[in-house]
Structure 1
Amino acid sequence: MANIKDIAKLAGVAHGTVSNVLNNKGNVSVKKMEAVLAAAKQMGYQLSVKGQQLRSSNDHKIAVILPQLVSEKYTVLFNAIRQTLLNYPDITYDLFITDGLEFNELKVLERVQAGEYKQVITVTCLDNANIYFDALQISPDDIIFVYRKPIDAQRFFTLNYDQPIDSIVEYLFDKRLTNIGVIAEENHWVGNQSFATKLEEKIRKQISNAKITMQYSSDNEVYKEAFNFFTDSTALDVIIAQDTERAKCITQASFYGGLNSCPEVVYLSDSASFIANGILDYPVNYAQLGKEVVEQLLSSSTDGKTEIVEISNLNVSVERHSLITFDRNANQTLNLLTLPSPSTNALIKLLPHFYKQTGITLNVSIRPYEEVLDILNNIEQYSYFDLVRIDIASFPWLAEKILTPLDQIGNGIDDLLNYFSDAVKLKFSYVNNLAYATPFDTSIQLLFYRKDIFDSPILKRMFYEKNNKELSVPKTFDEFDLIARFFNEIHRTDDPQRPEGASSSIGGARLIATEFLQRYYANGGRLLSTKSTPQLNDEIAVASLQAYINQLRFNKNFQGMWWDEPVKSFENSELAMLITYMNLFNDVAHSKLSPNIGFASVPGEIPQIGGGVIGLSKQSQKGNIAEQFYRWLYSPDVMDHLVMLGGNSVYQDLKDNQPICYRYPWLSLAYNELSKGIRENVTVAGETIDLRKVEHIIGQGIMNAVYKIMSIDEAIENINKMLRLQFS
């Protein structure tokens, strides 16, 4: 096997240079770095990652100790821990499996002690926390016990079982189910006692004639214990299982060991449960538990006090996934006018479920943006459209003219806005204090970048040698342009590690205006300050336009009428950075690039709001069945599936839904960015303006400067003149 001396000889450099390059240390030139890495690759040398970690004196390591990774409650918990730790690049972790055996766990503690781990997250099978404290000799503050609370544990995190218990017992009471089976984990653990004991107490309190059969089992014995429910001819009405694995074992035991059909099964599960008649679930937040454990372990101290944290759950009711039967003779339909988008595609995929649930057929008419805008401005000629998707730029201007207020749709649907934050409601629902629409594919501009590119030692060194600055995620447009120009200069068409820096979309006035306004807002400019007439600040606009034109010289320019081409180019590893609306970007999360996607606030941290709303046309006479569509679409279950299919939403529970945040990690940032996002479609006096017309005027004026029809000063002067003529 090749060693450092062999690599140094082949690369023609000193031994110390090879060591510095392979361990990412020292001040080594790009030329020597490339020579060393090429020689190492040629000789088949692989640096030991473990050895690299051990050589780091500042290494912060966390030990994660779990019984196994078969059960959902452990796999989802661990995945959330792993995903959350990605936000802390200086912290590493190792996973240890004990199989739920005391002997194995004691051996694991010896390895953790020898490995000098600073902190521990554990689901223990030991009865006393002092075994951990004595073996590891680290502060009790740095050890969090999950699910199971041993004696003297100082920090204990588990699920809050009050919500599911209340919901399950309410379901049993409503269905008059009295012969009840319960299968739970071994009951000597505090966390398990909390579920099983509270459940039994609640059932006996609310259902006086209930007959309860309790079964406790370890994870290893659950399959055998499940058969105990079917050893005699007594038929249970329902069996409550503490987790998915126990629910599966019940259905298998009933199939192979029972004489009667399987009773209903109600179980606690992750949000992605299996669906079948007679199987009911209560979604619990295993993933949020994992996220909170990591964040609390790294950010807080108990100061020697005992800490018990119970994580709340996603829903407040049992989820029943069986179908509802409707009168098929009604032949009811709704017609929706919308744009092509990932959210539209996701909605179409879910429409069979809407039909099965309601008996209503939703016809979706997908039209280009300009055609949609033309229809909306002449909606009285298109009375066959019931529901319309309106872009956020046009929404306030059109709402009072063409939409039915939410409280007048069916029995009123303004209660659906409770799913959204106040900031979202104000920008995507209300016009002059009246709610006209619901948020749909709500979006915000974000900066996406290639993490692998920004972390490349060679590229970081090249950037430093050229600019005497560190290569890091840009916070201003000056930094953004510097990085984009750098990548343009080193670009190689056939090398995905040498992409172009950034892109510009110059195929239409609207796109040009949006990208100009990014810079204008970042520089402190506003369209509507104290006047009702939109105007650009001359000084800020001139500087912003000059910078915009300059970047066209080194960016990759697209002539298309939408941002789909730049998004696809980024997905194909052809761009290092991309500023775009997140509702256009979600499909990239499913691509092979996804592990290398980084995200941040846009330069200047003044993002523009995008996406749109869904409203009911005043021309429609179908308010009652439209209400059914709204209530179906904005049910938490359907919203979750819409987002998982690539659609977009910012309902309030989204930020705590870890399966979704794992797939689209930028959603939490986007949720926070919306509060400071801008789209100037209402004056300070509350008057609505046709922002689309404003942006068209600005875009055309910018094009005059780009194509040298006017000077920059003349273009800005002409834009303001046209705005005054149009809006005064």
Structure 2
Amino acid sequence: MVTMKDVAKLAGVSHGTVSNVVNGVKNVSVDKIKKVEEAMAALGYKPNSAARNLKMEYTNQIDLVVPNMSSAEFPELYEAVRNEAEKSNYTLNLKVSDGIADKECKILNESIMNNVDGVILVSCQPSNLAFFSDIIKKGLKIVFCIADLSGSDCNFIGFDISDTMENLIGYYREQGKRIALVTEDAQSSYHDQLINTYCKGMLQDSQTDHQKYMEIIQVSTEYEAKGAARLFQLSPRPDAVIVSNEAVAREIHRFQYILEGEDGHNMKVIIFNQGKKTPFFEDEIIPLPFKSVGRHAFETIVKVIEQETGYGNYRMLVRPMPGEVRESSFRKTLESRKLRVLLNESPSSDAVRALLPNFTRRTGIEVEIVTKKISGMFHTIMEDQKKQEFDIYSIDVPWMDELARQNVISCLDDFVQHNSRCTEKYSERVLDAFSRVNGHIYGVPYVFSVQLLFYRKDLFDKIKNQRLYYEWYKEELRVPRTWEEFNKVARLFTRKYNPDSETKYGITLGGSAYSGAVCEYLPRLWSMGGAIFEDGKIIKNEEAARRALENYMEGFLYANEKSVDWWWDEQVNEFIRGKAAMMMMFSEHASALAEKKHSKIAGKYQVAVLPGKTSVQGGWSLAVRNTSKSRAEAYEFLKWISNGGLLEENAVLGRVSPDFDEESREILEGVYRWFGTAVEGFDTVKARCIPENIQRYHLSEIKVETLIGNRVHNAVIGQEDAEMAIQNLRIDLKNDILNDTK
């Protein structure tokens, strides 16, 4: 067996040096780190992590124990816990008990032997108080999840579905409907809530024998079929059935088709599940927030690990999101025209196009989607005031004020007043950014997009990179917090300056005029204390404006030489291919990063807010053309876009909306791990729109951005130095104001 002594001998260094490299001690020179790593690779030496853990107070390992991985909810729970563990540098070990009590006991005893820091447990034996009391006394720290430890204080994260059940039962009882319940014989708090709340609600109905309409089944294919079949033997037949298992819902539909055909008795099925849609359009889904439970369970086990005892009183019950409301009345009442929608070309427009059959099936409205590149969108919208080809536009949020002032788009106050669900889920901050002009609603939020810093964490974590950075700058290598640090780190990871760099370039950049250059220059300008317009001045703080531009220009030394004319798509492609160590990018365009099929950096990158913590506000809204003759159809489209029932499907396909409530964040963070950081970054974004004290000159937002972008681009390609570019930009803006006031 290869030992450290063997590695030291081959590398020509001391045993202590090898130990320091293996354990990540930073006072080793880059040259010695390279020799040790080469010797370890040549000899096939693998550090003994278990032996190192014996010297440490914590192992940074957590066990997740679940009954099975065949039920859809437990993979979802696992993914949520795993994502949180990765963020906190914990190793997550998945253990499956198969629902067997003895096997679960064996797994937990092994957890003690392996010295794991803690366990998140979905128990199949929550009534076994004696065993759990004993194992906790032995030092095992546990957070119980979904299945509560019966009759005992414990750390527990579960569901609270009582209010949801009460509302469901109350809704159908008010309509005089008969309600049935089919649930599993499972030891969990939420199954108990299903049964107890059902019985409580139905006891109020003296005309219904609720025991007759309640079926508690074992979890197996045979009993799922029997439970479903029994519903069709009831007389009178139930109008609605609440089920806790999607498989039961499938069996209900199967028996309904076998016994009654396609035109049989219309039995409404309400499913509590992990939130996935069923193939049956009329089913109502009550998504159980397994991801949120997993996230809170991880946060709780970390708290428990940090205290001295495994006992605790950390308890949380997470409520589900409301089910998707399916409205079909529009199809029956309106003879619709064909709707034409103009969207900016992006992953979001691809998502809308993919899901469009859902809208047409609901409403009967045919829709034609036309996409344009971002650079041509504003011009196309203005041209359409004569052509009148489109009913709905996607609007870059800085344009909304100008388009509203010119009566290009409709005020939606009346629409929102009668359809409050389109906006009530959004925060006031979101509505101010995406919807309001002078207190009135002109748009519905469509796409949430924030500038973020994507960086290769695997490269930042390497000791040799940390050591070399320290030798160069006498500073610790970290995720850059200023734009000066950003360029220093970029230089470290550029092969031209560091021949051992694993990436050819330190950063990706997009210098295309006009928006690419504008969106990369402004965050630097703002963080250095400058502004284009402020306090009635043009180019506040010329010194800051020059330094910001010089910083941006320097960045191109560490980027692909072609990037002076790149747009965002080229940048993302460069980063995905593993060619660069960092990328500043709007989140909307980063959806492809996690796709392992196309990405060489999947699982290797992390996300942070931009250096300087100030970024350009991105995002798009949908607005209705003021002269559209298909206003009713357009309103139905806005209602569909705002429907939270398709939140996950939209996200998976590339469209992320600004839904910041806990349940929506849980879903979106499950799809994109950067979403939480994007929400954090949204708090510090700045709008690139013209301030009110300058708006009196009626400047065009697009014209101003074009002027800024062209001058910045000229400096990047060497036609002007930074000082001249800033002076000429001031002149351009002054001339634009004079022309607009004539």
Q: Which has the larger displacement, 107-116 or 663-672?
A: 107-116
Pair 1:147-2:155 in alignment: no
* Residue deviations 1:332-367 (CA, integer Å, cap 9, x gap): 211122221111111111112211111212212222
Give 5+ residue unaligned stretches, structure 1: none
Question: What secondary structure does 1:585 align onto?
Answer: helix
Alpha-carbon deviation of 1:373? Answer: 1.9
Pair 1:80-2:80 in alignment: yes
| Contact kept? 2:169, 2:179, Cα under 8 Å | no
Q: Which has the larger displacement, 302-311 or 505-514?
A: 302-311
Change beyond 3 A, Cα 1:271–1:51:
farther
| CA–CA separation in structure 2 for the residues paired with 1:472 and 1:232 | 62
Question: What secondary structure does 2:450 align onto?
Answer: strand
Aligned to 2:321: 314
| CA–CA separation in structure 2 for the residues paired with 1:241 and 1:228 | 10
Q: Which has the larger displacement, 298-307 or 461-470?
A: 298-307
Change beyond 3 A, Cα 1:281–1:430:
closer
Change beyond 3 A, Cα 1:19–1:681:
same
Aligned to 1:102: 101
1:268-417, aligned counterparts within 5 Å? 268-276=272-280, 279-299=283-303, 306-315=313-322, 317=323, 326=331, 330=335, 332-401=337-406, 402-409=408-415, 413=419, 416-417=422-423
Pair 1:536-2:535 in alignment: no
Aligned to 2:158: 158
| CA–CA separation in structure 1 for the residues paired with 2:687 and 2:647 | 25
| Contact kept? 1:230, 1:258, Cα under 8 Å | no
Alpha-carbon deviation of 1:232? Answer: 9.7
| Contact kept? 2:458, 2:604, Cα under 8 Å | yes
Aligned to 1:266: 270
| CA–CA separation in structure 1 for the residues paired with 2:156 and 2:221 | 25
Matched letter for residue 517 of structure 1: L
Q: Which has the larger displacement, 407-416 or 158-167?
A: 407-416
| 1:479 aligned residue (485, 489, 495) | 485
| Contact kept? 1:681, 1:690, Cα under 8 Å | no
| CA–CA separation in structure 1 for the residues paired with 2:395 and 2:281 | 38
Pair 1:456-2:455 in alignment: no
Pair 1:619-2:627 in alignment: yes
TM-score where L is the length of structure 2: 0.88
Change beyond 3 A, Cα 1:193–1:706:
closer
Alpha-carbon deviation of 1:573? Answer: 0.8
| CA–CA separation in structure 2 for the residues paired with 1:326 and 1:262 | 19
Matched letter for residue 637 of structure 2: F
Change beyond 3 A, Cα 1:113–1:503:
closer
Matched letter for residue 382 of structure 1: K
Alpha-carbon deviation of 1:393? Answer: 2.7
Question: What secondary structure does 2:393 align onto?
Answer: strand
Alpha-carbon deviation of 1:535? Answer: 3.0
| CA–CA separation in structure 1 for the residues paired with 2:82 and 2:544 | 45
Matched letter for residue 476 of structure 2: E
1:50-129, aligned counterparts within 5 Å? 50-89=50-89, 91-124=90-123, 125-129=125-129
TM-score where L is the length of structure 1: 0.89
Change beyond 3 A, Cα 1:704–1:4:
closer
| CA–CA separation in structure 2 for the residues paired with 1:365 and 1:232 | 48
| Contact kept? 1:73, 1:286, Cα under 8 Å | yes
Aligned to 2:712: 702
| 1:634 aligned residue (635, 642, 647) | 642
| Contact kept? 2:339, 2:367, Cα under 8 Å | yes
| CA–CA separation in structure 2 for the residues paired with 1:239 and 1:524 | 62
| CA–CA separation in structure 1 for the residues paired with 2:728 and 2:229 | 83
1:487-636, aligned counterparts within 5 Å? 487-489=493-495, 497-531=502-536, 534-557=538-561, 558-560=563-565, 562-591=567-596, 592=599, 593-636=601-644
| CA–CA separation in structure 2 for the residues paired with 1:165 and 1:232 | 20
Change beyond 3 A, Cα 1:50–1:526:
same
Identity %: 22
Change beyond 3 A, Cα 1:513–1:192:
closer
Matched letter for residue 70 of structure 1: S
| CA–CA separation in structure 1 for the residues paired with 2:347 and 2:554 | 32
* Residue deviations 1:296-319 (CA, integer Å, cap 9, x gap): 33348999874542101122x466
Matched letter for residue 419 of structure 1: K
| Contact kept? 1:403, 1:618, Cα under 8 Å | yes
| CA–CA separation in structure 2 for the residues paired with 1:433 and 1:406 | 11
Matched letter for residue 59 of structure 1: T
* Residue deviations 1:355-405 (CA, integer Å, cap 9, x gap): 111121221222233432223334421212211122223221222311110
State the aligned residue count.
721
* Residue deviations 1:527-569 (CA, integer Å, cap 9, x gap): 33221x6433212112222222222333334143622111111
Q: Which has the larger displacement, 705-714 or 384-393?
A: 705-714
Alpha-carbon deviation of 1:418? Answer: 1.5
| Contact kept? 1:477, 1:603, Cα under 8 Å | yes
| Contact kept? 1:404, 1:616, Cα under 8 Å | yes
Change beyond 3 A, Cα 1:686–1:160:
farther
| CA–CA separation in structure 2 for the residues paired with 1:73 and 1:710 | 59
| Contact kept? 2:651, 2:671, Cα under 8 Å | no
| Contact kept? 1:328, 1:359, Cα under 8 Å | no
| Contact kept? 2:159, 2:189, Cα under 8 Å | no
| CA–CA separation in structure 1 for the residues paired with 2:622 and 2:324 | 29
The two structures, once aligned, show a CA RMSD in angstroms of 3.5
| Contact kept? 1:655, 1:671, Cα under 8 Å | no
Pair 1:29-2:29 in alignment: yes
Change beyond 3 A, Cα 1:576–1:659:
same
Alpha-carbon deviation of 1:617? Answer: 1.0
Q: Which has the larger displacement, 339-348 or 31-40?
A: 31-40
* Residue deviations 1:576-598 (CA, integer Å, cap 9, x gap): 00111111222323243331221
1:176-215, aligned counterparts within 5 Å? 176-178=176-178, 180-186=180-186, 190-205=189-204, 208-211=207-210, 212-215=212-215
Matched letter for residue 484 of structure 2: D
Aligned to 2:438: 432
Pair 1:691-2:701 in alignment: yes
| Contact kept? 1:527, 1:680, Cα under 8 Å | no
Alpha-carbon deviation of 1:416? Answer: 1.4
Aligned to 2:723: 713
Question: What secondary structure does 2:686 align onto?
Answer: coil
* Residue deviations 1:681-725 (CA, integer Å, cap 9, x gap): 142559475332222222233344445554433332222222222
Question: What secondary structure does 1:619 align onto?
Answer: coil
| CA–CA separation in structure 1 for the residues paired with 2:61 and 2:342 | 53
| Contact kept? 1:337, 1:387, Cα under 8 Å | yes
Matched letter for residue 311 of structure 1: V
| Contact kept? 1:179, 1:210, Cα under 8 Å | no
Question: What secondary structure does 1:418 align onto?
Answer: coil
Pair 1:444-2:445 in alignment: no
